[in-house]
Amino acid sequence: MLESLLVRENSMKANRKMLLAVLDGIGVRENTYGNAVLTAHTPVLDYLASLPLSTTLKAHGTFVGLPSDNDIGNSEVGHNALGAGRIYDQGAKIVQKSIQTKDLYSDKTWTQAIKYCLNNGTLHFLGLLSDGNVHSHESHLHAMLSQACKEGVKKIRIHILLDGRDVGEKTAEVYIQRLEEHMQKLRQQNCDVCIASGGGRMLITMDRYAADWNMVKIGWNLHVHGIGSGFSNALEAVLHHRQQQDISDQYIPPFVIKKEGQAVGKIQDGDSVICFNFRGDRSIEISQAFEDEEFSAFDRGRRPKIFYAGMTEYDGDKHVPSNYLVRPPQISNTFGEHLAEHRISQFACSETQKYGHVTFFWNGNRSGYFDKKYEDYLEIPSDKNSFDLRPWMKAHEITMATCKQLEKNSYQFGRINYANGDMVGHTGNFLASVNAVASVDLMLGRLIEKCKLTNTILLVTADHGNCDEMFEASPSNPSHWKHKFAAETPTPKTSHSLAEVPLYIYDPQGQADIYKILNPGLGTLANVANTCLELMGLPLRSDFEESAITKR
């Protein structure tokens, strides 16, 4: 047995060290209009793009497991594809299918949720109100509202989180109006349904990676206790805050809908609550607040006795939440697991905002380590201010930590994520995004120097586009739009783009005479795993998508 294990370990010994850098939200797009990537000073990216082993990859739609090719990619599905080496149907597609087939309504969780509140309770829905299809989709909410009404639920309250991030920055009115129209039809069927509370997703409820538990506390007090500024309806609240200051939906202050001075939708004993977000990272903490007996992140005050369920299981290892409507993607035998199993040392690093992407999502929605003896994860704490105020974010700290590990020769495969292009891009601040891209480019230059000294292969890619398309619509004079200083004021675009992403390979030894790009421009993020194995001199996985490179 020992002899067999030794042979196995020797057969998996990597010939070369490798570092994979994910430039979050930095896509490749030729149009200069609103393109912070092309506007920024990027000599290093330009150099990498000129190398023989450079191409682009698809990172959206069906290429990463989303329902249609009109669906923008996102960090969750992007890192799933990178780390799994395969394309899995993602939450958006799984939920859509479950609703279409009505399997969701025959599931025991849905049945329990309806039964728990059917007599004297209220059914609450909590989630992101938009059609961005990144964390949620309004059609899922509309369908469940109709079904609940059909099954005899008489009182329904909806707690809406406003988007302005995966969709247009000021589109809340559209989604609220569509929801109001749908609810009006249900009221005609003798169902008491209305919006109970709301606020921008970057201020309440949707924190992740324990970056700011106060967001969750504000959301909890809003949804559960009805504590917040009172308005007669959600549209009034949004328009009020629009008039007070020019802010996007994601930063709309929290509000409570009140009638005769009382909140219309406090969460009480005997109620059911369904979180209709299907993406996990920004739904875990609010789920823990509802479910955990030994909860200490903040004082919850009165904790109602309710039935709580998520759209999916947001954390498969910790089983959060304990009840969910749709089984999440079942991703196994990932790239990271494969390397750990064969004793190949790994290093993963990012700042808080993307730390879970190079760990949890990369590992197939699995928290923790496969084998801590061979894995080293490092989280750099993110700033808590708006990211456009410090567009360099923690790129320098990530770079220095990675260079230190390269110098120590402490791992054979490393993966890091620079959050700048995505987090700053979501603010809609074009000039800040230009600086964000330039900051990442500067850090890439330092990585290249260190890779040269340590004989490490560097592969640069991204999980999806974002800051490559920062303006909506088209200008009357496109030539003016290499930067923001122009006669017209553009409408910021804060959502991701459909752009392809880079695949740039730098090798200090040079590989152009050995390899070539297999199918230029036709690969996807799922091709990266076998590409890394190929470059490291390791056996390719037959169950992974093929390598993006092939020997000449």
Cα angle, residue 406 at apex, residues 402 and 410 outer, rounded to 5°: 105
Element (DSSP H or E) covering residue 23: strand 17-23
State the DSSP code for 478.
G
Q: Which whole-number Å values give the CA distances from 529 to 90, 286, 424, in the listed order?
A: 19, 33, 28
Q: Using N-to-C axis directions, what is the helix angle for 430-454 and 43-50, rounded to 10°? A: 60
What is the Cα–Cα distance from 94 to 440, expressed in whole angstroms? 35
C-alpha 500/C-alpha 462 separation (Å) is 9
How long a stretch of residues is the chain?
552
Tokens of 477: 């004079």
Q: Return the amino acid letter for 128.
A: L
Exposed, middle or buried by CB within 10 Å (0-12, 13-18, 19+), for 229? middle
The answer to whether residues 265 and 196 touch, using CB atoms and an 8 Å cutoff, is yes
Q: What angle do CA 531, 548, 536 make, to 5 degrees?
A: 20
Q: Give the separation between CA 362 and CA 76, rounded to whole angstroms.
A: 8
Report the side by side order of strands in the sheet with 346-351. Answer: 375-380, 346-351, 413-418, 17-23, 456-461, 501-506, 54-58, 523-524
Smallest Cα–Cα separation from 420: which of 484, 379, 468, 365? 468
In the Cβ-directed half-sphere of 308, how many Cα atoms lie within 13 Å?
23
Active-site residue identified among 68, 75, 106, 439: 75
Q: Is residue 118 within 8 Å of residue 270, measured between CB atoms?
A: no
C-alpha angle 530-364-64 in degrees, rounded to nearest 5: 65
For the question of residue 75 being annotated catalytic, the response is: yes
Report, as residue numbers or ranges, the catalytic residues.
75
